Amino acid sequence: MKYYWIVVLLCLPFSISAQNPEFDPDFGEGGILIQDFEGTSNEGGKSIILPSGKILIAGKSPFNGLRLAIAQFMPDGQLDSSFGTDGLVDYFMDVTCNQVIRLSDGKILVGGYSGTSSNTRIFGFTRLLQDGSIDTDFGDNGVAFFSGQTTFGVQDMIQQEDGKIVFCGTSQSSFNPFVGRINEDGSTDTSFGDDGVIVFETGNNTSRFAWGMDMDDDETLYVCGETNNQNQSTGADFFKNWIGKINPDGTSEFKFLSSSDENNEQIRDIKVMPNGNIAITGGWSNGDKRSIALGIYNTTLEEISFSLITTDDTDDGYAFTFQEGGKILVTGERSRSGGSRFLLGRFNEDGSVDTSFGDNGSFEIDIDRRDDKPVSIHALSDNKVLVTGQTGTSSRTFQYALVQLITDLSASDNELTDIVNAVHVYPNPVIEELNLEIDMALDEELKISLYSKNGLLLSTLKPYRRYVSGTHKFTIKINESLSPDLYFLVIEDILMKRKVLPVFKSE
């Protein structure tokens, strides 16, 4: 059984800072940057972080033909004058933008579709030089096409070690998800699969989509997506999620991951974890409730476990990144009657919800607009996080939005940092015994106490005594009469400086 807590801070007799991200004052205007292109509307906001720390963001204009709009920023959010014209490039091309990657030689590859009608679209690519100009050595004057019609175009791309590019999408003719491959010059690599294509046969489903992909160190490809199905008992439509695997020898595998024939379970992003397991994220709904979901697929046991961040709102997950220490940070969208907002959710390395983050695991980003939709998320140094996407107004005019936040990976106000180097508590959640390790930087008198979530002192576990510099270990018995709930372990010195740590008691 899982327990969820909302920490009420104002009633406590000491200050506990919740792990709410803060806008980075050194980025843009107070952590927020809105960029348009001469007043036209731009959708997308897919972004990459370059080795220099610069930020490149790309998208399209749905109202001005097949228009490609890309901006490049310095790490502080200022437009990079060395790119395009004052940091912007704006091309009317035969290809629009869904995805963008940096190639090994520093060039930029954009993937999307060509064709203004959904019935005549084909996969398309454009390559740019590092200064934003069109690379005419690629394809036909910078543009390359891949045979086969598509409704949505290229959804994700990865460059392999040999320079070739694999991408995923959905075929319009068969509505099967597939992976294709092109050579460095943009031509179709006919040595891959069947004339450049490996198709995932997903069965008799109404619609089948591929949304994301990743590659491990052995160049095994993992692809994620969803299928639209019908419940045989009720006749209701529902989505099932799946992952596909393409081995280096070209053989492929396919597996449904959905837990129910009633829930709408939609995957949007997939990544290979450092331990070789697969993490996926998306939105799960059952009835009117929709939540950010994270799944961890154990590649050894071939089993998957899901965790949901449950709120009173309608939430969706779109993309995720790994923070230092193994935390998994998801960005998504919170929808309400008055519009939508950027949303963050955080999970622990094992896939469980990090309930100490924001409000029970989620944090809403309000950039004071109307219709906001995140697309990309990046974990930066110093616990900073960049989220990019699009933002709109009531007139349905969209601009690129970049939000940079500082996330605190600690659990409290850390006023003892000059005295205490580090504190570790485990296991947490705890049942009977809690292990506490304190690494002292200086000699000091400390007291250790346990408080309820409402700030009531329950027990003085260790009265004031002097601890010399070095590591001190304690085993603390947890009163069996305490109910499963959130508690606070408080370490304080004689000047009332405190270190506050949340402790969860389970059954």
Q: pLDDT at position 16, please?
A: 45
DSSP SS3 for 324: helix
* pLDDT of amino acid 267: 86
Q: What is the spatial distance between Cα 198 and Cα 223, in angstroms, rounded to a whole number?
A: 12
Angle among Cα 444, 447, 452 to the nearest 5 degrees reads 150
Q: What is the pLDDT of residue 482?
A: 84
> How much is the pLDDT for 192?
94
C-alpha 114/C-alpha 119 separation (Å) is: 11
pLDDT of residue 329: 96
Residue pair 151/121 in contact (Cβ under 8 Å)? The answer is yes
Q: Judge contact between 170 and 179, C-beta under 8 A.
A: no
Mapped onto helix, strand or coil, the DSSP state of residue 325 is helix
**What local confidence, expressed as pLDDT, does residue 203 receive?**
67
- Is the domain spanning 420-505 CATH 3.40.190.10? The answer is no
Domain with CATH 2.130.10.10 in the chain: 22-406
The pLDDT of residue 412 is 38
The 8-class DSSP code of residue 483 comes to P
Helix (H) or strand (E) run with residue 57 in it: strand 55-61
Per-residue pLDDT for the chain (507 aa), expressed as one digit of tens each?
Answer: 333 333 333 344 444 444 678 899 899 999 999 987 765 666 777 999 999 999 999 987 765 556 788 999 999 999 999 999 999 988 877 778 889 999 999 999 999 888 756 566 788 999 999 999 999 999 999 999 987 666 678 999 999 999 999 999 887 766 788 899 999 999 999 999 998 999 887 666 566 788 999 999 999 999 998 877 655 555 555 677 888 999 999 999 988 776 555 567 788 999 999 889 999 999 887 667 789 999 999 988 888 888 999 888 899 999 999 987 788 999 999 987 778 899 999 998 889 998 888 888 999 988 866 788 999 999 998 789 999 998 887 566 778 899 999 886 443 344 677 788 888 888 888 888 889 999 998 999 999 988 876 667 788 888 889 999 999 998 988 887 888 877 888 888 877 777 888 887 877
Distances (CA, A) of 336 to 142, 237, 370, 371: 42, 23, 10, 10
Distances (CA, A) of 93 to 96, 107, 112, 184, 272: 7, 18, 11, 20, 34
CATH 2.130.10.10 matches 22-406 = yes
What single string gives the DSSP state of each residue in 129-155? Answer: -TTS-B-TTTTBTTEEEEEEEBSS---
Residue spans in the chain of domains classed CATH 2.60.40.1930: 420-505
What are the residues facing 333 on neighbouring strands? Answer: 316, 342
pTM of the model: 0.76
Continuous H helices in 66-217: none
Give the pLDDT confidence score for residue 10 in this predicted structure.
35
Q: What tokens does 386 get?
A: 């960049």
pLDDT at site 350: 87
- Residue 200's pLDDT is 85
Q: Do 410 and 424 form a contact (C-beta atoms < 8 A)?
A: no
The confidence score (pLDDT) of residue 166 equals: 96
What pLDDT was estimated at residue 394? Answer: 59
